Amino acid sequence: MKLYYAADSCALAAHIALEEAGLPHTLARIDHATKLTADGDSLLSVNPKGCVPALVLDDGQVLTESAAILQYIADLAPAARLAPPAGSFGRYRLAEWLNFVSSELHQVFMRFTIADAPPAVLAGTVQKLSNRYAYAAKVLGAQPYLLGDDYSVADTFLYVTTRWCKSVGIDIAQWPSLARHAAAIAARPGVVRALAAEGLGG
Ligand SMILES: N[C@@H](CCC(=O)N[C@@H](CS)C(=O)NCC(=O)O)C(=O)O
Protein backbone atom coordinates (compact mmCIF):
# COMPACT_ATOMS: atom_id res chain seq x y z
CA MET A 1 0.00 0.00 0.00
CA LYS A 2 1.09 3.58 -0.54
CA LEU A 3 0.18 6.37 1.86
CA TYR A 4 0.07 9.94 0.61
CA TYR A 5 0.81 12.20 3.57
CA ALA A 6 2.10 15.59 4.62
CA ALA A 7 4.42 15.79 7.62
CA ASP A 8 2.71 16.20 11.00
CA SER A 9 -0.72 16.32 9.38
CA CYS A 10 -3.76 14.22 10.25
CA ALA A 11 -2.24 11.56 7.96
CA LEU A 12 0.17 10.78 10.80
CA ALA A 13 -2.62 8.73 12.41
CA ALA A 14 -2.91 6.48 9.33
CA HIS A 15 0.88 6.26 9.14
CA ILE A 16 1.05 5.14 12.77
CA ALA A 17 -1.72 2.60 12.21
CA LEU A 18 0.21 1.08 9.28
CA GLU A 19 3.27 0.80 11.51
CA GLU A 20 1.35 -0.69 14.41
CA ALA A 21 -0.48 -3.13 12.13
CA GLY A 22 2.86 -4.25 10.71
CA LEU A 23 1.58 -3.83 7.15
CA PRO A 24 4.08 -3.25 4.34
CA HIS A 25 3.70 0.24 2.92
CA THR A 26 5.47 2.99 1.08
CA LEU A 27 5.12 6.70 1.72
CA ALA A 28 4.52 9.55 -0.69
CA ARG A 29 5.14 12.88 1.00
CA ILE A 30 3.38 15.81 -0.56
CA ASP A 31 3.93 19.51 -0.28
CA HIS A 32 0.68 21.13 0.84
CA ALA A 33 1.16 24.21 -1.33
CA THR A 34 1.74 22.37 -4.62
CA LYS A 35 0.04 19.03 -3.77
CA LEU A 36 3.04 17.36 -5.40
CA THR A 37 5.60 14.86 -4.18
CA ALA A 38 9.31 15.57 -4.71
CA ASP A 39 9.05 13.30 -7.81
CA GLY A 40 6.25 15.44 -9.24
CA ASP A 41 3.57 12.86 -8.41
CA SER A 42 0.26 14.73 -7.94
CA LEU A 43 -1.98 14.11 -4.93
CA LEU A 44 -4.90 15.44 -6.97
CA SER A 45 -4.58 12.56 -9.43
CA VAL A 46 -4.96 10.16 -6.49
CA ASN A 47 -7.44 12.10 -4.36
CA PRO A 48 -9.35 14.80 -6.24
CA LYS A 49 -10.42 16.19 -2.84
CA GLY A 50 -6.82 17.34 -2.48
CA CYS A 51 -6.40 16.06 1.06
CA VAL A 52 -4.18 13.64 2.85
CA PRO A 53 -4.36 10.91 3.98
CA ALA A 54 -4.99 8.96 0.79
CA LEU A 55 -4.19 5.27 0.84
CA VAL A 56 -3.58 3.47 -2.46
CA LEU A 57 -4.43 -0.19 -1.94
CA ASP A 58 -2.56 -3.08 -3.53
CA ASP A 59 -5.38 -3.54 -6.07
CA GLY A 60 -5.18 0.14 -7.08
CA GLN A 61 -8.29 1.37 -5.27
CA VAL A 62 -7.86 4.58 -3.26
CA LEU A 63 -9.29 4.97 0.22
CA THR A 64 -9.58 8.44 1.76
CA GLU A 65 -10.93 9.92 5.02
CA SER A 66 -9.00 9.20 8.21
CA ALA A 67 -11.86 7.46 10.00
CA ALA A 68 -12.32 5.01 7.12
CA ILE A 69 -8.60 4.43 6.58
CA LEU A 70 -7.94 3.81 10.28
CA GLN A 71 -10.70 1.21 10.52
CA TYR A 72 -9.58 -0.43 7.27
CA ILE A 73 -6.02 -0.81 8.51
CA ALA A 74 -7.21 -2.09 11.89
CA ASP A 75 -9.39 -4.71 10.20
CA LEU A 76 -6.52 -5.90 8.01
CA ALA A 77 -4.49 -6.76 11.11
CA PRO A 78 -6.85 -8.01 13.84
CA ALA A 79 -3.97 -9.46 15.85
CA ALA A 80 -2.66 -5.93 16.42
CA ARG A 81 -5.90 -5.10 18.26
CA LEU A 82 -6.23 -1.58 16.93
CA ALA A 83 -10.05 -1.59 16.91
CA PRO A 84 -12.89 -3.54 18.52
CA PRO A 85 -14.28 -6.23 16.20
CA ALA A 86 -16.77 -5.09 13.55
CA GLY A 87 -20.31 -5.61 14.79
CA SER A 88 -19.44 -5.24 18.48
CA PHE A 89 -20.80 -2.29 20.43
CA GLY A 90 -17.22 -1.20 21.06
CA ARG A 91 -16.92 -0.63 17.34
CA TYR A 92 -19.64 2.02 17.48
CA ARG A 93 -17.84 3.68 20.39
CA LEU A 94 -14.78 3.73 18.16
CA ALA A 95 -16.80 5.35 15.37
CA GLU A 96 -18.12 7.86 17.91
CA TRP A 97 -14.59 8.89 18.91
CA LEU A 98 -13.20 8.90 15.37
CA ASN A 99 -15.99 11.22 14.28
CA PHE A 100 -15.50 13.43 17.31
CA VAL A 101 -11.78 13.80 16.66
CA SER A 102 -12.35 14.32 12.94
CA SER A 103 -15.16 16.86 13.03
CA GLU A 104 -14.99 18.47 16.47
CA LEU A 105 -11.19 18.74 16.80
CA HIS A 106 -9.32 18.24 13.52
CA GLN A 107 -11.62 20.32 11.33
CA VAL A 108 -11.85 23.04 13.96
CA PHE A 109 -8.04 23.41 13.83
CA MET A 110 -8.38 24.05 10.10
CA ARG A 111 -9.84 27.49 10.91
CA PHE A 112 -6.33 28.59 11.81
CA THR A 113 -5.31 28.06 8.19
CA ILE A 114 -7.86 30.62 6.92
CA ALA A 115 -5.99 33.72 5.84
CA ASP A 116 -7.08 36.90 7.67
CA ALA A 117 -9.44 35.07 10.04
CA PRO A 118 -10.70 37.66 12.58
CA PRO A 119 -8.91 37.40 15.96
CA ALA A 120 -12.28 37.08 17.75
CA VAL A 121 -13.08 34.02 15.64
CA LEU A 122 -9.71 32.48 16.45
CA ALA A 123 -10.16 33.19 20.18
CA GLY A 124 -13.56 31.51 20.03
CA THR A 125 -11.96 28.60 18.23
CA VAL A 126 -9.37 28.16 20.98
CA GLN A 127 -12.20 28.14 23.52
CA LYS A 128 -14.18 25.57 21.53
CA LEU A 129 -11.16 23.29 21.18
CA SER A 130 -10.34 23.70 24.87
CA ASN A 131 -13.85 22.68 25.88
CA ARG A 132 -13.57 19.57 23.73
CA TYR A 133 -10.13 18.62 25.05
CA ALA A 134 -11.48 19.12 28.56
CA TYR A 135 -14.20 16.59 27.72
CA ALA A 136 -11.65 14.06 26.40
CA ALA A 137 -9.50 14.69 29.50
CA LYS A 138 -12.47 13.96 31.74
CA VAL A 139 -12.97 10.61 30.02
CA LEU A 140 -9.25 9.85 30.20
CA GLY A 141 -9.24 10.73 33.90
CA ALA A 142 -11.32 7.61 34.53
CA GLN A 143 -9.70 5.17 32.09
CA PRO A 144 -6.37 4.80 30.26
CA TYR A 145 -7.74 4.96 26.71
CA LEU A 146 -10.70 6.53 24.95
CA LEU A 147 -12.48 3.18 24.71
CA GLY A 148 -11.61 2.09 28.25
CA ASP A 149 -8.84 -0.37 29.03
CA ASP A 150 -8.01 -1.09 25.40
CA TYR A 151 -5.98 1.07 23.07
CA SER A 152 -7.45 1.84 19.63
CA VAL A 153 -6.76 3.94 16.55
CA ALA A 154 -8.94 6.64 18.11
CA ASP A 155 -6.20 7.22 20.69
CA THR A 156 -3.60 7.91 18.02
CA PHE A 157 -5.99 10.16 16.12
CA LEU A 158 -6.57 12.20 19.28
CA TYR A 159 -2.81 12.24 19.97
CA VAL A 160 -2.12 13.59 16.47
CA THR A 161 -4.39 16.57 17.11
CA THR A 162 -2.81 17.26 20.51
CA ARG A 163 0.50 17.72 18.68
CA TRP A 164 -0.98 20.87 17.09
CA CYS A 165 -2.24 22.41 20.34
CA LYS A 166 0.91 24.34 21.20
CA SER A 167 0.92 26.09 17.82
CA VAL A 168 -2.50 27.61 18.55
CA GLY A 169 -1.71 28.53 22.17
CA ILE A 170 -3.31 25.57 23.93
CA ASP A 171 -1.18 23.94 26.62
CA ILE A 172 -2.35 20.37 27.20
CA ALA A 173 -0.51 20.31 30.54
CA GLN A 174 -3.64 21.97 31.96
CA TRP A 175 -5.32 18.57 31.58
CA PRO A 176 -3.00 16.06 33.32
CA SER A 177 -4.96 13.03 32.11
CA LEU A 178 -4.74 14.21 28.50
CA ALA A 179 -1.02 14.99 28.87
CA ARG A 180 -0.47 11.53 30.36
CA HIS A 181 -2.37 9.95 27.47
CA ALA A 182 -0.38 11.91 24.85
CA ALA A 183 2.91 10.88 26.48
CA ALA A 184 1.85 7.23 26.58
CA ILE A 185 0.86 7.27 22.90
CA ALA A 186 4.07 9.07 21.89
CA ALA A 187 6.11 6.30 23.55
CA ARG A 188 4.52 3.46 21.56
CA PRO A 189 7.11 1.86 19.25
CA GLY A 190 4.96 2.24 16.13
CA VAL A 191 4.46 5.91 16.90
CA VAL A 192 8.19 6.42 17.41
CA ARG A 193 8.86 4.75 14.04
CA ALA A 194 6.24 6.83 12.20
CA LEU A 195 7.53 10.08 13.73
CA ALA A 196 11.09 9.19 12.75
CA ALA A 197 9.98 8.37 9.19
CA GLU A 198 8.33 11.81 8.93
CA GLY A 199 11.38 13.51 10.47
CA LEU A 200 9.39 14.63 13.54
CA GLY A 201 10.15 14.84 17.24
CA GLY A 202 7.98 13.18 19.90
N1 LIG B 1 -11.92 14.62 6.20
C2 LIG B 1 -10.54 14.37 5.91
C3 LIG B 1 -9.79 15.67 6.10
C4 LIG B 1 -8.37 15.55 5.72
C5 LIG B 1 -7.64 16.88 5.83
O6 LIG B 1 -8.23 17.95 6.12
N7 LIG B 1 -6.34 16.83 5.59
C8 LIG B 1 -5.55 18.02 5.62
C9 LIG B 1 -4.24 17.77 6.35
S10 LIG B 1 -4.46 17.56 8.08
C11 LIG B 1 -5.26 18.41 4.20
O12 LIG B 1 -4.75 17.61 3.42
N13 LIG B 1 -5.59 19.65 3.84
C14 LIG B 1 -5.29 20.16 2.55
C15 LIG B 1 -6.39 21.00 2.00
O16 LIG B 1 -7.47 21.04 2.62
O17 LIG B 1 -6.18 21.60 0.97
C18 LIG B 1 -9.98 13.27 6.82
O19 LIG B 1 -10.49 13.12 7.94
O20 LIG B 1 -9.07 12.53 6.41
Residue 35 has pLDDT above 90, yes or no: yes
Among protein residues, the one with the nearest Cα to ligand 1's atom 15 is: 51
Is the separation of the CB atoms in 72 and 24 below 8 Å?
no
- pLDDT tens-digit profile of 148-169? 999 999 999 999 999 999 999 9
Report the topology of domain 89-188. Answer: Glutathione S-transferase Yfyf (Class Pi); Chain A, domain 2 (1.20.1050)
Q: What does residue 80 show for φ and ψ, rounded to 5 degrees?
A: -80, -10
Q: What is the pLDDT of residue 177?
A: 98
Mean pLDDT of 13-41: 96
Top-level class of domain 2-80+190-197: alpha beta
pTM of the predicted protein model? 0.97
Which of 5, 8, 10, 43 should be mutated for ligand 1, with most atoms under 8 A from CB? 10
Question: Which class for 27: exposed (0-12), middle (13-18), buried (19 or more C-beta within 10 A)?
Answer: middle
Q: What is the pLDDT of residue 201?
A: 79
Rounded Cα distance between 85 and 83, Å, is 6
What ranges do the domains of the chain cover?
Answer: 2-80+190-197, 89-188
**Cis preceding-peptide flag for 53 (omega within 30 of 0):** yes
Residue 202 has pLDDT above 80, yes or no: no
Q: How far is the CA of 52 from the centre of ligand 1 (A)?
A: 5
Among protein residues, the one with the nearest Cα to ligand 1's atom 18 is: 65
Mean pLDDT of 7-30: 97
